[in-house]
């Protein structure tokens, strides 16, 4: 950890601080957001009719195949499922007892509405979209993705209709760090790779894989290489830096940069780089076939006009420019990576707007179907169409009538995702007891009930936080102001830098560089930092010994300890000792973190998460967060609740209700009550904590805790 100050990114450490800080400055609470209407603005009766029709279509399909819907889930199972599915965590002890004590007929529907209107919904859905859109807090080239994070969270908090959300992504332009402009992250995520961006766009929103057609006609589908580049043409001419700010930055050469030190020049370089990135160009509707084009319907280097995918219909008025005259100045051949951005004579015609309108149209044969299918899988565990993003001409859903109805309902609801989910959650199909048999072929699963499945890494982490930290759904506290009163958040810093003249910016750089050094020294001199550094060095020596002796078991244990130390280092660096929900942390978490150990996506590929078990997970559950921050921390909400219990039975009840959201069965009570009785009689707090820790550890490592029933 003893890294020279000059090696720490000044942009991150000073102005934008997005590397270690889990906060989202311009996010859900940002002043530019619009207030979200409650789901209750749509009458419940309207939604219930949709739910009933879903149940009818599922029941008809089950009957055809000689099956029945499972019986209704118990209140305890429903409660836990609702919290994990809608807000991504288990309910608190208070939330559990409150719901289980209710006797109203509408308590399930009321809870669904309450959770959909909570910030927990935003938090959980962000994880879904971050995996789908491959959102990273720090993108390639040291470029912040925090504004992209904020845009998605704002959109979820405001319940922006899905079609409008996608349109904003496709048509986004302007500086990356301009307030409320984070949608440009959609293109910056694939910076200088317009072909990859188009492939990802069609896969995510239309469930169609075109990647193979980039190099040759698709071998398994009808798409040709020419069609592929005709789709790329919709974003033709896109640029990834603000020309205005780039030109302004060039004038810095005459503003006294020779007087800056090497470290100060690095600060200046990072600030300029962050400030100039953005998206420009409304779209030329033109693209160039690759030099190695293999099709019979064109030639290498040919300029093609944008055409929509399914009918190969031109939707723009793009015209191919005339070739330059022979005596004209020779145009330098562009780098292949950015070839699509450089077609001499091409003019802006707004083809990205046309692209967005075509993509999100209710007449598009796949747009509503794909999102309806994705959300059906999110709620039920299996899609009506599997795989989700390999929809071909001959693809048939496992329940075609239901798939057609869900797609039509999505359109009828004006792409209101909350109302769509509300309808599924209120259905008897979703509220039925879980289906616990393995599904080998998704085409033969007829939805007797939601599939019992393992929790995601984010759901496990967030659920453990419920037991370790109070108020887990609260946004993290805003980061302290940097550099005195220079800037309070990411966007204010950009606005101020943008407004400075070259000379004023140059004059500011020495102060930024000094503050960078001061921040690093403050962390380095922290007593806790020094203690951890000593432990880290000792573990490093033990790791070397384990390697020499080939003691793999000991090496795994040491690696786990090393990962825990790195987590503590990060907490000190961000000056925030409290744990945060997965959606509030660096996206994705760093390798070795609990989330990554349990399968969180690295956000390099679409939906690249996994829910597979691993040895490192067992070690983490044995010696990590559960042991240190829940079972042995007297300040944890769970142990405080146990301490307030008045009898051995209350102790057992409290732990079961807090962790599994149900009271213990008779056999479980008989097993654990005597141990608590002995511990309480001894009045030995250590003995009481030991018994509590044993039960907490057992439940945390049980299938009932790790799986969604």
Pure H helices in 118-261? 119-133, 146-157, 162-171, 185-188, 194-206, 225-232, 243-250
Give Cα separations from 470 to 42, 620, 650 (angstroms): 32, 22, 21
In this prediction, residue 16 carries a pLDDT of 39
CB atoms within 10 A of CB 248: 18
Q: Which of 590, 543, 549 is nearest to 567 (CA)?
A: 590
Confidence of residue 220 (pLDDT cuts 50, 70, 90): low
Averaged pLDDT, 147-160: 94
How far apart are the C-alpha atoms of 162 and 356, rounded to whole Å?
12
Confidence of residue 263 (pLDDT cuts 50, 70, 90): confident
In this prediction, residue 176 carries a pLDDT of 94
Averaged pLDDT, 251-257: 72
DSSP 622: H
Averaged pLDDT, 548-572: 74
Residue 655, pLDDT > 70, answer yes
Across the chain, what does the average pLDDT equal? 85
pLDDT tens figures, 594-611: 999 999 999 999 999 999
CB distance 235 to 358 below 8 Å: no
Confidence of residue 615 (pLDDT cuts 50, 70, 90): confident
Pure H helices in 574-603? 594-597
pLDDT tens figures, 175-204: 999 999 999 999 999 999 999 999 999 999
Residue 18, pLDDT > 70, answer no
State how far Cα 457 lies from the chain centre.
Answer: 12
In this prediction, residue 33 carries a pLDDT of 36
Residue 17, pLDDT > 80, answer no
pTM of the model: 0.85
Helix (H) or strand (E) holding 287, with range, is strand 286-288
Confidence of residue 485 (pLDDT cuts 50, 70, 90): very low
pLDDT tens figures, 659-701: 999 999 999 999 999 999 999 888 777 888 899 999 999 999 9
Q: Which of 172, 181, 312 is nearest to 238 (CA)?
A: 172
pLDDT tens figures, 487-508: 567 788 888 888 888 888 888 8
Write down how long the chain is.
Answer: 709
* Residue showing tokens 């101020």: 496
Using DSSP's 3-state secondary structure scheme, residue 350 falls into: coil
Confidence of residue 561 (pLDDT cuts 50, 70, 90): confident
How far apart are the C-alpha atoms of 689 and 65, rounded to whole Å?
53
Helix (H) or strand (E) holding 512, with range, is helix 502-524
In this prediction, residue 244 carries a pLDDT of 79
Residue 226, pLDDT > 60, answer yes
4 CB burial (10 A radius; 0-12, 13-18, 19+): exposed
Residue 336, pLDDT > 50, answer no
Confidence of residue 257 (pLDDT cuts 50, 70, 90): confident
Averaged pLDDT, 52-59: 98
- Which residue would you say has higher pLDDT here, 29 or 382? 382
Averaged pLDDT, 441-445: 93
DSSP 630: I
Q: Which long-range contacts (CB under 8 A, 24 or more apart) does 97-101 make?
A: 97/657, 99/75, 100/75, 100/76
Averaged pLDDT, 224-237: 94
């Amino acid at each position: 950890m003893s890294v020279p100050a000059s090696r720490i990114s000044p942009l991150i450490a000073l102005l934008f601080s997005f590397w270690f800080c889990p906060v989202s400055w311009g996010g859900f609470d940002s002043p530019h957001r619009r207030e979200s209407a409650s789901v209750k603005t749509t009458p419940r009766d309207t939604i219930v009719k949709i739910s009933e029709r879903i149940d009818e279509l599922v029941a008809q399909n089950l009957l055809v195949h000689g099956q029945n819907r499972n019986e209704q889930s118990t209140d305890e199972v429903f409660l836990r499922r609702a919290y994990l599915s809608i807000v991504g965590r288990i309910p608190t002890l208070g939330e559990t007892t409150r719901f289980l004590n209710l006797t109203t007929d509408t308590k399930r529907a009321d809870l669904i509405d309450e959770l959909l209107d909570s910030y927990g919904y935003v938090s959980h859905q962000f994880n879904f979209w971050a995996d789908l859109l491959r959102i990273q807090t720090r993108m390639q080239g040291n470029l912040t993705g925090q504004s992209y994070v904020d845009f998605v969270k704002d959109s979820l908090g405001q319940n922006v209709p899905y079609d409008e959300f996608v349109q904003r992504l496709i048509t986004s332009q302007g500086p990356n760090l301009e307030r409320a402009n984070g949608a440009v992250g959609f293109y910056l995520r694939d910076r200088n790779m317009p072909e990859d961006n188009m492939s990802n766009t069609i896969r995510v929103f239309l469930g169609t894989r075109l990647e193979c057609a980039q190099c040759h006609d698709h071998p398994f589908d009808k798409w040709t290489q020419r069609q592929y580049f005709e789709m790329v043409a919709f974003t033709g001419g896109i640029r990834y830096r603000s020309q205005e700010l780039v030109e302004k930055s060039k004038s810095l050469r005459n503003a006294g940069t020779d007087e800056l030190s090497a470290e100060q020049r690095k600060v200046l370089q990072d600030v300029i780089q962050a400030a100039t990135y953005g998206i420009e160009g409304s779209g030329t509707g033109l693209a160039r076939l690759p030099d190695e084009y293999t099709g019979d319907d064109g030639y290498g280097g040919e300029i093609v006009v944008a055409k929509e995918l399914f009918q190969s219909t031109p939707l723009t008025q793009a015209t191919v420019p005339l070739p330059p005259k022979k005596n004209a100045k020779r145009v330098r051949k562009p780098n292949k990576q950015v070839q699509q951005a450089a077609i001499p004579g091409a003019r802006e015609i707004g083809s990205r707007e046309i692209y967005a309108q075509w993509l999100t149209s209710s007449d598009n044969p796949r747009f509503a179907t794909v999102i309806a299918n994705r959300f059906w899988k999110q709620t039920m565990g299996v899609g009506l169409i599997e795989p989700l993003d390999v929809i071909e001409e001959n693809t048939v859903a496992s329940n075609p009538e239901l798939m057609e109805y869900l797609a039509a309902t999505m359109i009828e609801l004006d792409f209101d995702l909350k109302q769509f989910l509300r309808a599924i959650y209120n259905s008897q199909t979703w509220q039925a007891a879980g289906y616990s048999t393995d599904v080998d072929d998704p085409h033969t699963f007829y939805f007797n009930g939601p599939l019992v499945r393992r929790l995601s890494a984010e759901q496990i982490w967030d659920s453990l936080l419920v037991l370790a930290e109070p108020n887990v759904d609260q946004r993290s506290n805003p980061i302290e102001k940097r550099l005195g009163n220079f800037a309070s958040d990411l966007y204010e810093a950009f606005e101020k830098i943008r407004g400075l003249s070259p000379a004023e910016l140059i004059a500011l750089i020495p102060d930024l560089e000094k503050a960078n050094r001061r921040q690093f020294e403050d962390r380095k001199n922290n007593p806790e930092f020094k203690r951890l550094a000593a432990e880290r060095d000792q573990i490093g020596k033990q790791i070397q010994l384990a390697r020499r002796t080939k003691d793999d078991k000991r090496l795994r244990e040491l690696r786990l300890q090393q990962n825990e130390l790195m987590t503590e280092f990060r907490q000190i660096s961000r000056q925030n000792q409290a744990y945060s929900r997965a959606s509030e942390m660096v996206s994705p978490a760093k390798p070795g973190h609990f989330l990554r150990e349990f399968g969180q996506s690295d956000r390099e590929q679409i939906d690249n998460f996994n829910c597979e078990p691993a040895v490192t997970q067992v070690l983490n559950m044995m010696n990590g967060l559960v042991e240190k921050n829940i079972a042995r921390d007297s300040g944890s909400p769970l142990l405080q609740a146990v301490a307030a219990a008045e009898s051995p039975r209350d102790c057992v009840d409290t732990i079961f209700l807090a962790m599994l959201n149900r009271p213990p069965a008779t056999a479980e009570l008989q097993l654990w009550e005597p141990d608590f009785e002995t511990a309480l009689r001894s009045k030995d707090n250590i003995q009481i904590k030991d018994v509590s820790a044993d039960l907490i550890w057992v439940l945390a490592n049980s299938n009932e805790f790790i799986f969604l029933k």
